Amino acid sequence: MPAGRTPVLITQLIYGLGGLVLFLIGIWSFLVHEPLLRKLIALNVMGAGVFHVLIAVAYRGLETIPDPVPHALVLTGIVVAVSATALALTLGLRLGHGDD
């Protein structure tokens, strides 16, 4: 894969910056909000932000197919996020956070 020398397209920029904004919102929410469910949502928003950045990175223009490596990263990241969220919810249930 060539180093990032292909011209950055507007779409990429929107997705990438959007992803970063989501990431920041996620961190802020995680640090500020107390209830477990909100923290989990915040983490997932962070994750979504990172995935957006990765998708933006994968874009190589309209002629070539996108770079598969970041897509693989996104898929793995989604799996990890889901599993971790599931575990967190189970633990939270154990603690009696079902009403949050």
Partner 1 sequence: MIDWLALAVALPLLGAVGAVMLPGRAPAIGLAGAVLTTSAALSVGLLVAQGTALRSDLGGWGAPLGIALAADGLSAALLVMANLVALCISVYALDYFGAGSRRHFWPLWLLLWAALNGLFLAADLFNLYVTLELLGISAAALGALTGRPEAVGANLRYLLVGLLGSMTYLLGVALLYAGLGTLDLKLAAAALTPGPLAWTVFALMVGGLLLKAALFPLHFWLPPAHAQAPAPVSAALSALVVKAAFYLVLRLWVDLFGAVTDGGAATLLGALGTGAVVWGSWRAFRAERLKLLAAYSTVAQVGYLFLFFPLLAEAPATQRQDLLGAVLLLALTHGFAKAGLFLSAGLLQKAAGHDRIADLGPSIQGLPAVALAIGLAGVALVGLPPSGTFIAKWVLLSSAIGSGQWWWAPGVVLGTLLASAYVFRVLANAFERGPRHGSLHDARGELAAAPVSIGRLAQAVPLLMTLIAVAVLGLEAEPLWDLLQDRSP
Binding stretches for partner 1 (CB under 8 A)? 1-4, 16, 23, 26-27, 30, 36, 39-40, 43, 46-47, 49-50, 53-54, 56-57, 68-70, 72-73, 76-77, 80-81, 83-84, 87-88, 91-92, 94-95
User: Which string of b and e fits 28-41 if b means at least 16 CB within 10 Å?
Assistant: ebbeeeeebeebbb
C-alpha distances (whole Å) from 46 to each of 18, 26, 51, 64, 69 are: 11, 5, 9, 29, 20
Nearer residue to partner 1 within complex by CB, 3 or 62: 3
Closest separation in Å from C-beta 18 to partner 1 = 13
Closest separation in Å from C-beta 62 to partner 1 = 19
How far apart CA 13 and CA 93 sit, in angstroms, is 40
Closest separation in Å from C-beta 78 to partner 1 = 11
Nearer residue to partner 1 within complex by CB, 30 or 62: 30
User: Which of 87, 61, 58 shows the shortest CA–CA distance to 74?
Assistant: 58
